[in-house]
Structures are given as structure tokens and as C-alpha cells.
Amino acid sequence: MLTLLGCDHQSMNHHDHINLLRDGITAPGGVWADLGSGWGAFTLALAELTGPTAEIYSVDKDRAALKRQERNMRTRFPERPPACTHYLVADFTEPLHLPPLDGLLMANALHFQREKDVVLQLIRSYLHPGARLILVEYNLDRGNPWVPFPISYLVWQDLAPRFGFAGTRLLATHPSSSFGEIYSALSFVPQ
């Protein structure tokens, strides 16, 4: 486990986002999705770690956030072919039309879902055997107005097998002065 030192989540930088994901992505390429991607801080980290030929589906309900993310992607990675990133204005709690995924990233999005079962069933259905799920969340079990339905690492570790995930392990943590810490975890779909 890697523990990152520094400031809280609100002031994390690109390097911090990469460090939360790095140990969960072992090779470039593949087909990935980032659900609830927002302005794309973690999508940019995913793009850096998976390389210019990885296909990424960035999904969020906020069209303006996706447009900003698209501009940031072109600026940060001018060598990345535009056709390799798909920006989908959609609600990830509803079925999405995605190809079978090698990996799925969900960063600070699951804590907005009271009923996690439906979302986790959908997530599992997008992933082929051997695929990876990287979850980034606050390590809390009690919510507040900003993080209404958090899921701590220990709860995720117990919950993951119910939805067909195996090999769950903690990747990294990052301190947060407001919410304790943020963590990243990796889970696999069994072969």
C-alpha cells in the first residue's frame, strides 16, 4: 500500500490522481470507462497511465463538465487521437451502451448513490472476465451533505464479492483534512 502525503482532496493535483491509480493499471492500452467523470481530473490520470492508444469512455451527466474535460485532454495530451476518447452525456445509474471493458474507474461517484446494488450490478455487466475495477472513495461510513453515502474500504472489501468481484486490495490513500482520507482500491472480475 502506498500512502500519499500532502494536502486534502480539494487541492489534489494531477500527480496525486496518478498515484491513486498507478498500481491498478499495469499495462498501456485497453478499453476503459470513467463513470461520473466530472471535469476529468481522474480521466486525465487514466489517459496518462493507459497511454495514447487506450480507448476511454468518459461518462457524466454534466455536458459542460465533459466539454471542459475534452479541452483539457487535448491540451495535456495533444498526441492522443481524439477518436480514442468518447465523452458520453449520460447517467451511469442507467444502462449504458459500452463495449466490453478491460477496466472501469469510478472516482468519487459511488458515494452519491444511496442504492449501490443496481449501480454495482451495472458496473459488473460492462466488464469482461479478467477486467479491473478501480474505486476511489472517501474512507468513511457516515455521510454528510457533500459525501452523502460513503463506502469505506473495509465495507467495499466485504461488499465486492457479492457483485462478482475478487482480489480486492487497497492501492493507495491520500489524506483529506475535511473527510479523513481518500483511498483507491482495485478489484477484478474472475477469469
Which CATH number is 162's domain given? 3.40.50.150
d(CA 100, CA 111): 25
Q: How sure is the predictor about 14, in pLDDT bands with cuts at 50, 70 and 90?
A: very high
Q: What is the DSSP letter of 163?
A: G
Please state the rounded mean pLDDT for residues 78-102.
96
pLDDT tens digits, one per residue of 139-184: 988 877 777 778 899 999 999 999 999 999 999 999 987 777 999 9
On the question of pLDDT at 68 being above 60, the answer is yes
Single pTM value for the model: 0.91
Higher pLDDT, 31 or 110: 31
- Please give the share of the chain, as a percent, with pLDDT higher than 70: 94
Structural domains of the chain, count: 1
pLDDT top residue among 1 and 73: 73
User: What's the whole-number mean pLDDT along residues 133-137?
Assistant: 96
Contact 165, 133 (CB under 8 A): yes
Residue 57 — pLDDT band, cuts 50, 70, 90?
very high
pLDDT for res 6: 32
pLDDT at 4 over 60: no
Domain that holds residue 111: 2-188
- Assess whether pLDDT exceeds 90 at residue 7: no
Helices (H), the chain: 14-21, 41-50, 63-76, 116-126, 153-159
Distances (CA, A) of 43 to 66, 70, 164: 10, 10, 25
